[in-house]
Amino acid sequence: MSELIIRVENLTFRYPGAPRPVFQDFTFELLPEQHLGLVGPNGSGKTTLLHLLMGLLRPQAGRILIFGQEVSTEKDFAWVRQRVGLLFQNPDDQLFCPTVLEDVAFGPLNQGKTTAEAVALARETMAKLGLEGFEERITYKLSGGEKKLVALATVLAMQPRLLLLDEPTAGLDEDTKHRLVHILKDLTIPYMIVSHERDFLNETVKKCCHVHPHCCQPQ
């Protein structure tokens, strides 16, 4: 049997002051080569799960294993973040550099690449996403769809081994959605998508899971 990409065991998480925990004895697995959709009503914990996997939130109990490694400390999660990409719901949270090129190169530079390598990687990623000519554009003057694609480029430029997408289609027009579908289909890495859009999930993932407080049940 090949190594699991993600394994979550008996995880419990409750937001401070919340009456009920979001997850109680939660168990979850992601197989290699798997493309998974996460569905569920608002507040069922889909985004929370992604943030727990990236170490942005810490569980009160339970274990998280990523690529077979148990992760619990900030140092562990720094290691995770070099290998797992998370696309935020709102691209305005993700793009903070003045120009597009600088933003896309930010991740590779943090990975210790030289400026020349980072710029080359950034250009290559942008070309793959059809964003040639955007290098010197100002990030906050882009349209909503352009921002989303640039945000995806900033994540992909880090060459992640796993991609997590939090409602990638929110607020996008049909055209950009189509582009996104094609980009995801071309990816060779496993990914997990949180979405409310059935049509989009049907085109991008083979399996959908419903997020419950105890487990993720296939539909």
Partner 1 sequence: MSLIREPFSEGDSLIHRLDPRGKVLVAGTFAVLVAVAASPRTAAAGLALALLWLALAGLPPRRVAARLLVVNGFVVFLWLVLPFTYPGEVIWRWGWLAATREGLAAAGLITLKSNAILLGLIALVATVPIVDLGQALHRLRLPDKLCHLLLFTYRYLYVFEGEYQRLVTAMKIRGFRPRTDLHTYRSYAYLAAMLLVRSYDRSERVYQAMLCRGFRGRFYSLKEFSWQRRDRIFLTLSGLGLLGVAGVEWLLPLAARRLGAW
Residues of the shown chain interacting with partner 1 in the complex, contacts defined by CB under 8 A? 51, 54, 56, 78, 81-82, 85-86, 88, 90, 92-94, 96, 98-99, 101-102, 105-107, 109-111, 115, 118-119, 138-141, 154-155, 158
Q: What's CA 215's distance to the chain center, in Å?
A: 20
Nearer to partner 1, 114 or 217 (CB): 114
Of 151, 134, 149, the residue nearest 99 (C-alpha): 134
CA distances for 28 relative to 5, 159, 194, angstroms: 11, 24, 15
The Cα 27–Cα 44 span in angstroms is 15
CB 159, min distance to partner 1, A: 12
Q: Which two tokens stand for residue 84?
A: 């797992």
| DSSP codes joined into one string, 80-116 | HHTTEEEE-S-HHHH--SSBHHHHHHHHHHHTT--HH
